[in-house]
Amino acid sequence: MQYINKIRELQKKKNLTLENVAKGIGMTRPGFTEMLNSGDMKVSTLRKIADFFEVDIVYFFEGESKKNTDVDKVFEVLKTYVKNQLKIK
């Protein structure tokens, strides 16, 4: 899952521990680690992470699957939907 990799990249880039990120979004480190490892994450949690790192939530989905144009079309629709639901400009 691309967004998990991007979270880990941001964490390393900013020299933060998993503990720092977890506390920053109101979670425990074990809970945060389990969530990352399982890939089971709510959009609301991803939003908290985006806010913590001061990035647009769409950042976590950029660069997904460029091999299949049908997948690209679905991704664009989903990206627009998420933006609209979260009132992102």
Per-residue pLDDT for 66 more than 60? no
- Examine residue 67 and state whether it is found in any structural domain, yes or no: no
User: Domain containing 26: what range?
Assistant: 2-62
- Is the pTM value of this prediction over 0.75? no
Whether residue 79 lies inside any domain: the answer is no
In whole angstroms, how far apart are CA 87 and each of 29, 47, 80, 81, 82? 29, 12, 10, 10, 8
CATH of the domain at 25: 1.10.260.40
Does residue 75 sit within a domain? Answer: no
Q: Please give the pLDDT value at position 89.
A: 55
26-37: average pLDDT: 93
Domain-located, residue 80: no
pLDDT at 1: 67
pLDDT the model gives residue 11: 93
pLDDT for position 86: 80
Structural domain count, the chain: 1
In a domain, 74, yes or no: no
**The predicted structure's pLDDT at residue 52:** 96
